[in-house]
């Protein structure tokens, strides 16, 4: 009969570990340790600790930074799991020199030090520049929508939240009546009491929020949905459904996909944060004495979400050469001229404004079926103001061409808009003419290959599928740490080569 060595796992095994021999050169943990120990200035953290004479000793910022960066590199985002790794994983134990920070201390490090994390991010970016990892020829700007630590069920306008509170109160009243009618010995009486307390606390939470906060106003001057748990976040549509979260934005260099600047914003539209983002990027580069000319000497590539007259004027004033297409640029692209035939209703191409005839004397449009679109007045739209024209009610109901004229839904009349120029120059038309050239289309095609793999690396390889903090400052700190991990990965690869 065959005989095998014992494999009993219940026995205790003691081993001697020399931490100085655990970090092998050429590994990512060695790169993180070397950068934090020798090339990153951590003195800005010192001002937050006032324990030189009294108080307990604190964990060194370099220890916390190493642990968090290495954890994020391995897709460990939970503070509790990071603490557990410091207890059981030899590499984590080596980075902490055998110490085990509590999970609350790990979370607090991200909470407190957003400004310092920004400075560390710039330190890493400076190392990338000195290693010639930044080309400065193309910069791709985009956003990645990620859920936050807040439920979308707690979102709504103030009237929505008031109605929700009323419904909860009605449920409480129903349970109270049920509780009164139950016999004292009935086991369901105790369960009902617990339900009442739980539901009442939800109603009180809504009431306190409405009492102590003002409605959230959007860019158009109208009320938008607030969120009781994290009011800095926003409800937004994504390919994975509607989420309550943040738009994590990043500007990436085209040479080695190094992230030049990163921010998170709680808003649906990327367009409304473009000027703030680029302004902060320029300020950050100047602060660290990095060449801010990279913004003016590079070609900025961004998708249609950043296209607006205000943004294009800002780019022109800042001498930033950009390629940003409008939402209809593919319809004008000759390479897509046959795309309509691949659609089910390709034979019913929708009428465009060019299919309508403008009558200057009467200031009206004539539709392809001979009906009149009269001038209604000046109307507000997403990016400014426009002159609006529309048909009379009922005219389009029996029209045999309405399938090609009206959008699907409950529309009963066709309307047209003529945008009112906001500035002396038409920046949108200038950008459209730039994008529609063969050179412009070729430049824009580089955008996806530069920025999308970065988001793919952070989300898929590094495991950031959601933010686990609340509030823009905390979320922004976590996003910067993940972008820092990405850049350190580029440094590590360059060192290997």
Same domain? For 325 and 449 the reply is: yes
Q: From CA 247, how far away is CA 250, in angstroms rounded?
A: 10
Residue 430 lies in a domain: no
How far, in Å, CA of 15 to CA of 416, rounded?
A: 78
Domain hosting 303: range is 135-149+236-331+436-474
- The pair of structure tokens assigned to 184 is 């004292």
Q: Tell me if 294 is assigned to some domain.
A: yes
Pair (144, 163) in one structural domain: no
pLDDT of residue 346: 47
Residue pair 482/121 in contact (Cβ under 8 Å)? The answer is: no
Instruction: Give residue 336's pLDDT.
Output: 72
Query: How many Cβ atoms from other residues are within 10 Å of residue 220's Cβ?
Result: 10
Same domain, 307 and 451: yes
Distance from C-alpha of 29 to C-alpha of 6, rounded to nearest angstrom: 34
Q: Are residues 142 and 163 in the same domain?
A: no
Q: Tens digit of pLDDT for each residue in 468-483?
A: 999 899 999 999 999 9
CA dist 456 to 229, 234, 240, 260, 463, Å?
Answer: 28, 22, 15, 17, 10
Output DSSP code: residue 36.
I
Average pLDDT over residues 1-19: 82
User: Which pair of tokens denotes residue 313?
Assistant: 């004027």
pLDDT tens-digit readout, 204-247: 888 888 888 888 887 777 888 888 888 889 888 888 788 899 99
Residue 9 lies in a domain: no
Q: Are 226 and 213 in contact (CB under 8 A)?
A: yes
List pLDDT tens digits, range 374-414.
Answer: 998 888 766 677 889 988 888 888 888 888 888 766 567 88
* CB distance 405 to 414 below 8 Å: yes
Residues 298 and 257 in one domain: yes
Structural domains in the chain (count): 4
Average of per-residue pLDDT across 140-162: 90
In whole angstroms, what is the distance from residue 308 CA to residue 358 CA?
26
| Predicted confidence (pLDDT) at residue 54 exceeds the cutoff of 80 | no
Q: Is 163 a member of any domain? A: yes
393 belongs to a structural domain: yes
Count CB atoms within 10 A of the CB of residue 94.
21
Asked whether the beta carbons of 175 and 168 are under 8 A apart, the reply is no
CATH number at residue 280: 3.30.420
Same domain, yes or no: 72 and 170: no
Average pLDDT value for the chain: 87
Asked whether residue 229 is assigned to any structural domain, the reply reads: no
Burial 182-214 (b: 16+ CB within 10 A, else e): eeeeeeeeeebeeebeebbebbeebeebbeeee
Residue 37 contacts residue 60 (beta carbons within 8 Å): no
% of residues, the chain, pLDDT over 70: 94
484, 121 in Cβ contact below 8 A?
yes
Tokens 């960066």, residue? 69
Structure tokens at 18: 């020399």
Unique residue bearing structure tokens 């906060």: 213
Burial class (CB in 10 A: 0-12, 13-18, 19+), 7: exposed
CB 177 within 8 A of CB 292: no
- Same domain? 366 vs 411: yes
| Side-chain-side CA neighbours of residue 176 (13 Å) | 9
| Same domain, residue pair 240 and 327 | yes
Q: Does residue 489 belong to any structural domain of this protein? A: no
**Residues 176 and 320 occupy one common structural domain:** no
Examine the domain organization and report whether 382 and 351 are in the same domain. Answer: yes
Residues 246 and 311 occupy one common structural domain? yes
Is 364 contained in some domain?
Answer: yes
Residues recorded for the chain: 497
For residue 32, the model assigns a pLDDT of 95
Same-domain pairing of 393 and 319: no
Q: pLDDT of 322-343, one tens digit each? A: 999 988 888 887 777 666 555 5
Residues 200-212 have pLDDT tens digits of 888 888 888 888 8
Q: If you compute the radius of gyration of the chain from its CA atoms, what whole number of angstroms results?
A: 29
Q: Using an 8 Å Cβ cutoff, are 481 and 72 in contact?
A: yes
């Amino acid at each position: 009969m065959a005989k095998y060595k014992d494999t009993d796992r219940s026995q205790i095994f003691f081993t001697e570990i020399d931490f100085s021999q655990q970090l092998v050169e050429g590994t990512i943990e060695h790169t993180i340790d070397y950068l934090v120990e020798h090339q990153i200035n951590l003195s800005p953290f010192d001002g937050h600790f006032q324990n030189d004479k009294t108080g307990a000793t604190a964990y060194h910022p370099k220890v916390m930074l190493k642990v968090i960066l290495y954890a994020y590199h391995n897709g460990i985002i939970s503070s509790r799991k990071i603490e557990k790794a410091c207890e059981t994983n030899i590499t984590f134990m080596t980075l902490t020199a055998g110490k085990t920070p509590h999970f609350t201390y790990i979370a607090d490090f991200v909470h407190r030090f957003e400004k310092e994390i920004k400075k560390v991010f710039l330190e890493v970016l400076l190392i990338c520049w000195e290693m010639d990892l930044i080309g400065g020829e193309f910069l791709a700007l985009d956003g990645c929508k990620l859920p936050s630590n807040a439920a979308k069920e707690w979102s709504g306008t103030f009237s929505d939240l008031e109605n929700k509170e009323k419904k909860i109160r009605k449920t409480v009243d129903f349970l109270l009546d049920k509780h009164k009618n139950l016999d004292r010995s009935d086991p369901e009486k105790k369960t009902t009491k617990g339900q009442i307390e739980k539901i009442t606390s939800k109603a009180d939470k809504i009431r306190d929020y409405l009492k102590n906060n003002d409605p959230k106003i959007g860019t158009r001057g109208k009320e938008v949905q607030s969120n009781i748990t994290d009011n800095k976040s926003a409800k937004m549509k994504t390919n994975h459904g509607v989420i309550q979260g943040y738009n994590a934005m990043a500007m990436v260099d085209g040479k080695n996909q190094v992230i030049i600047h990163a921010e998170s914003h709680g808003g649906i539209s990327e367009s409304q944060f473009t000027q703030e983002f680029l302004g902060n990027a320029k300020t950050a580069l100047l602060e660290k004495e990095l060449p801010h000319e990279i913004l003016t000497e590079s070609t900025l590539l961004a998708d249609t979400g950043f296209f607006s007259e205000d943004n294009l004027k800002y780019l022109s004033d800042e001498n930033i050469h950009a390629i940003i297409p409008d939402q209809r640029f593919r319809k004008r692209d000759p390479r897509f001229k046959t795309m309509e035939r691949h659609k089910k209703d390709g034979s019913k191409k929708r009428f465009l404004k060019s299919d309508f005839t403008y009558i200057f004397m009467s200031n009206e449009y004539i539709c392809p079926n001979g009906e009149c679109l009269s001038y209604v007045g000046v109307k507000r739209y997403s990016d400014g103001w426009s002159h609006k024209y529309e048909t009379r009610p009922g005219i389009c109901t029996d029209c045999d061409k309405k399938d090609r004229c009206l959008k699907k839904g409950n529309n009963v009349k066709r309307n047209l808009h003529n945008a009112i120029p906001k500035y002396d120059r038409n920046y949108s038309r200038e950008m459209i003419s730039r994008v529609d050239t063969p050179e412009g289309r070729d430049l824009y095609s580089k955008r996806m290959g530069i920025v999308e793999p970065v988001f793919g690396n952070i989300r898929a390889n590094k495991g950031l599928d959601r933010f686990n903090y609340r509030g823009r400052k905390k979320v922004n700190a976590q996003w910067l740490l993940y972008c820092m991990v990405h850049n350190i990965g580029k440094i590590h690869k360059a060192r290997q080569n």
